[in-house]
Structure formats: structure tokens, C-alpha cells
Amino acid sequence: MANIKSQIKRNRQTVKRHARNQAVRSELKTRFKATVDTAGAGDAAATDQAYRAAQKRIDTAVSKGIVHKRTASRRKSRLARRINTPA
């Protein structure tokens, strides 16, 4: 356990940030999965809506520094490829 006041505060901040970042990463996975599932169901309108929502959350995660921009680009590309290729 830290003895220095500033380090105690930094530890508290780290725990909060970690929880927040984990929640965002989890939501990204959930959106990715939902988009793939709707694409599998064959509903084009729902797939498009789910894809837009997933893209928006990925871009938001990049702007907040949770995901690197190249990682986001790769994920969006893979998601687009998965929903556009015939199964």
C-alpha cells in the first residue's frame, strides 16, 4: 500500500479509469456481436443500424483514448467485411 498521499489518489483514479475502460471495451464487443447476429438474420435495415451504432462507439472509444485509432480502423474493416460477405 502506498504511503504518499498523491499515490493513494492516483491508485483510486486508476481503479475508476480501469472500470470505465473495461465497460467501453465490453460494449464494443457486444455491439460487434449484435451486428454480426443481425447480419446473419438477414435484416438489412437492422444490420445497417447496428453497424452504424458499432462504428459510432468505436470512434467514441478512439476519441477518449481507450482504443488506438489503427485498432479501431481494423475492427471497423473486419466488421464491414463480415457483414458484407455472403454467408
pLDDT tens digits, residue range 14-50?
999 999 999 999 999 999 999 999 998 888 899 999 9
- Work out how many domains the chain is built from and give that number: 1
pLDDT tens digits, residue range 53-86?
999 999 999 999 999 999 999 999 999 999 998 7
Output the CA–CA distances (angstroms, integers) from residue 84 to 6, 54, 67, 79, in the order listed: 51, 15, 24, 9
Check which CATH number belongs to the domain holding 37 and give it: 1.20.58.110
Q: Give the domain extent around 30.
A: 5-84
Q: Are 32 and 78 in contact (CB under 8 A)?
A: no
Q: Rounded to 5, what percent of the chain is helix, strand, coil?
A: 85, 0, 15
pTM of this structure: 0.83
